Amino acid sequence: MSRPKYVFVTGGVVSSLGKGIASSSIANLLECRGLRVTLQKLDPYLNVDPGTMSPFQHGEVFVTDDGAETDLDLGHYERFTHAVLTRAHNATSGSIYERILARERRGDYLGKTVQVIPHVTDAIREQIAKVSTEDIDVVLTEIGGTVGDIESLPFMEALRQVRQQVGRDGCVFVHVTLVPYIAAAGELKTKPTQHSVKELRALGIQPDILVCRTETGFSREIREKIASFCDVDREAVIAARDVDTVYQVPVEFAEQGVDDIVLDRLRLTAGPRSLGPWQDMLDRLRNPRDKVRIGVVGKYVDYEDSYKSLKEALLHGGLAQSLDVEIGWQEAESITRETCAGQLERYDGILVPGGFGIRGIDGMIEAVRYARVNDVPYFGICLGMQMMVIEFLRNVCGIREAHSAEFDPKSPHRAFLKLRELKGVEDLGGTMRVGAWPCRLTPGSFARSAYGREEISERHRHRYEFNRPEYEQVLTGHGMRITGETPEVDYVEICELPSHPWFLGCQFHPEFKSKPLDPQPLFREFVRASHQRRLRQGKALADIEADQFLRLFGARLQGAPG
């Protein structure tokens, strides 16, 4: 039985250095050489999972097919590779302790003292073993936080133990650090990196590769200095300079041979690197034929990480047709019927993304109305789909009090209800519908033509469902169409307005499955429709200008002396 090899990624100096992107880029390169990879994130914080953490503090909650609510780094992992991630690919101190404490309560430890070493470290190693399946050549495990954090100590110790167990050619340690430029001195400083490596070595870990974040790159001297003080080979000191797009990072790493170093240390042989499709994608990204402006009307717009996957999926949707997608983040709370046109008219398409809680709801409904009456392509995701249906029920079907039970539990017209309140639906236990569900598409719909097939699977994360028994008839009677539903329990998954150029809402989160090399179909088609509107508008503008010109010019001609 072959056992996978390991790449362990830690971080030093400060947070936010892009460990997730570094891990994803190494994994990407190993895949480009024909290896089968997977990635895992171990977070030292005590929350059991990021599901209940504020998007403002922690960014987006990424959802896997099997319904795990995970750290947003797993989104990078999936976008950069073909790895299929599950619940086992993200763990926190909280989830590890939860498991240990449950065992302790059951009496599984037979009266022994339960301790950080060996029990917590063993549980961390079990977590790594869970994803070390036979179909994988290399497992990349990233440790959240920064070396020196008290809460990450058990994780570092567990990695050290794994190295002891698998041997030196069984794993490589990659440490991501910062080489700051101090303007006053006009110098790049290597000391923070040295200190960080010293910290790591105090824990018994000698890094093999240093990924040094730097604004502009560094000289051979700096590289040599870092190599010598940190006891790392010169070619293993990688300059990770700031780049225009995260998708450039694998290319930067390839130029410095990061994959060769990893393969060499792990004594792995692999095929030549084939970066062709990736490079081609980058070329398209940098040479768009036109642009398109999308207004995202949401509630966490001040903190773009809350919409990480969404932002990427829009970009991919543009990439698919060489269009540059310019996103305008529009705070939903600031939108009113009166101000709406002024705030939204510059956009070619409008998107209302997912969200929880009542803040900004009225603004979203106004944005939907604006898009509907002005023929602006509209894409509603999860909460955005619910708002699209509510707007229609209120303003087209005349049910003024229509609402979701989430926002007005006493409304006489609750068009969205919690699962267990829906008649004839058995309570699924948990309060959320999360993870992948199959969905069947109606022929002749926007969705069906986007996906080009009848059955799809997309990921969910929500509590409320369309109250089909009570509101389907009135909705469809006024022209909205239900074009996607789950095959067995017939939950409503997609609604559309066929009389509109492109107006679609989906109860699931399609952004979680979009990749730069495999753009998600709904995003692609929404961007396409928005671009078509842009062209129509452009043409319309040109027509108006031509009209004015003729009028002016004609008047002159008429007035001209004979």
Min dist CB 326 to ligand GLN, Å, is 24
Q: Which is nearer to ligand GLN, 223 or 463 (CB)?
A: 463
- For residues 316 and 310, what is the distance between their CA atoms, to the nearest angstrom? 10
Segment interacting with ligand GLN (CB under 6 A) among 190-198, 300-308, 461-469, 493-501: 461-469
Nearer to ligand GLN, 213 or 462 (CB): 462
Residue 63 or 266 with smaller CB distance to ligand GLN: 63
Binding mask 123-162 for ligand GLN (x = CB under 6 A): ----------------------------------------
Residue nearest to ligand GLN (CB): 354
Task: Map the footprint of ligand GLN across residues 376-405, applying CB under 6 A.
Answer: 382-383
CB of 186 vs ligand GLN, minimal distance in Å? 49
515 Cβ neighbours under 8 A, 6+ residues apart: 78, 79, 316
Q: Which is nearer to ligand GLN, 270 or 352 (CB)?
A: 352
**CB-wise, 18 or 50, nearer to ligand GLN?**
50
> Minimum distance between the CB of residue 303 and ligand GLN, rounded to whole angstroms?
16
Q: Which residue has the tokens 């095959």?
A: 487
Cis amide leading into 272 (omega within 30): no
CB of 406 to ligand GLN, least distance (A): 5
Nearer to ligand GLN, 250 or 363 (CB): 363
Could you give the CA distance from residue 411 to residue 174 in angstroms, rounded to a whole number? 56
Which of residues 31 and 511 has its CB atom nearest to ligand GLN in the complex?
511
For residues 455 and 441, the answer to whether their CB atoms sit within 8 Å is yes
Shortest Å distance, C-beta 238 to ligand GLN: 38
Contacts with ligand GLN by CB under 6 A: the residue count is: 10
CA distance 366 to 362: 6
Q: Tell me the window of 41-49, 191-199, 365-373, 459-467 that interacts with ligand GLN (CB under 6 A).
A: 459-467
Where do we find the tokens 């058995």?
Answer: 426
* Beta carbons within 8 Å of 481's beta carbon, 6+ residues apart: 442, 445, 495, 496, 497, 498
Q: Of 301-360, which residues contact ligand GLN (CB under 6 A)? A: 354-356
The catalytic site residues sit at: 382, 509, 511
Question: Applying CB under 6 A, which of residues 464, 466, 502, 503 lies at the interface with ligand GLN?
Answer: 464
Of 388, 364, 358, 344, nearest in space to 505 by CA: 388
**Residues ≥6 apart with Cβ < 8 Å to 550:** none
Buried b (16+ CB within 10 A) or exposed e, 375-396: ebbbbbbbbbbbbbbbbbbbbb
Are residues 270 and 260 in contact, defined by beta-carbon separation less than 8 angstroms? Answer: no
> Between residues 80 and 508, which has the closer beta carbon with respect to ligand GLN?
508
Contact 188, 222 (CB under 8 A): yes
Question: Is residue 38 a contact partner of residue 140, using CB atoms and an 8 Å limit?
Answer: yes
Q: Kindly state the DSSP code that residue 442 receives in the 8-state scheme.
A: P
3-class SS of residue 310: helix
Q: Which of 406, 493, 496, 511: binder of ligand GLN (CB under 6 A)?
A: 406
Contact range with ligand GLN by CB under 6 A, out of 64-72, 172-180, 456-464, 528-536: 456-464
Q: Dihedrals φ, ψ of 467, to 5°?
A: -80, 75
Q: Which of 299, 369, 461, 500 binds ligand GLN (CB under 6 A)?
A: 461
Contact (Cβ atoms closer than 8 angstroms) between residue 435 and residue 64: yes
Binding residue for ligand GLN (CB under 6 A) from 76, 403, 463, 481? 463
CA-wise closest residue to 259 among 353, 140, 356: 140
Q: Does 173 bind ligand GLN (CB under 6 A)?
A: no
Tell me how far CA of residue 217 lies from CA of 181, 185, 188, 521, in angstroms. Answer: 10, 17, 10, 38
Segment contacting ligand GLN by CB under 6 A, of 45-53, 457-465, 476-484, 519-527: 457-465
Member of 160, 316, 448, 462 binding ligand GLN (CB under 6 A): 462
Amino acid code (one letter) for 505 = G
What does the alpha-carbon distance between residue 96 and residue 116 come to, in Å, rounded to a whole number? 11
Could you list the residues that contact ligand GLN (CB under 6 A)? Answer: 354-356, 382-383, 406, 461-464
